Amino acid sequence: GQNIDQPTEMTATEGAIVQINCTYQTSGFNGLFWYQQHAGEAPTFLSYNVLDGLEEKGRFSSFLSRSKGYSYLLLKELQMKDSASYLCAAYNFNKFYFGSGTKLNVKP
């Protein structure tokens, strides 16, 4: 079976750093993706990890530990526009198994 867990909701302050965790248990694994989704809009790709370690893309970084079935998305210098849902997805040949998403509220 597939099981992707992430916190339901988080709140952080503008300018701060926030870490959104994701744990996964999947039969077969080819990568871990992070998407951002604003309410009523389609998911947009943020980052992905195939190998263990940290991938950095500007204000966003993502980390993967395959042995622990664990990933996190790190957002730095938070901006109000970062208020959105963040979806963790485990990928296995054509199929994305999405977590339920973490709703991030950024406050002034």
Partner 1 sequence: DTEVTQTPKHLVMGMTNKKSLKCEQHMGHRAMYWYKQKAKKPPELMFVYSYEKLSINESVPSRFSPECPNSSLLNLHLHALQPEDSALYLCASSQDGGRQETQYFGPGTRLLVL
Q: Which is nearer to partner 1, 75 or 88 (CB)?
A: 88
Minimum Å distance from CB 15 to partner 1?
28
Minimum Å distance from CB 54 to partner 1?
17
**Residues 11 and 18 sit within 8 Å (Cβ to Cβ):** no
Interacting residue ranges for partner 1, rule: CB under 8 A: 30-31, 33, 35, 40-45, 48, 50, 87, 89, 91, 93-96, 98-101
Contacts of residue 6, Cβ cutoff 8 Å, sequence gap at least 6: 20, 21, 22, 23, 86, 88, 99, 100, 101, 102
Q: Which is nearer to partner 1, 17 or 97 (CB)?
A: 97
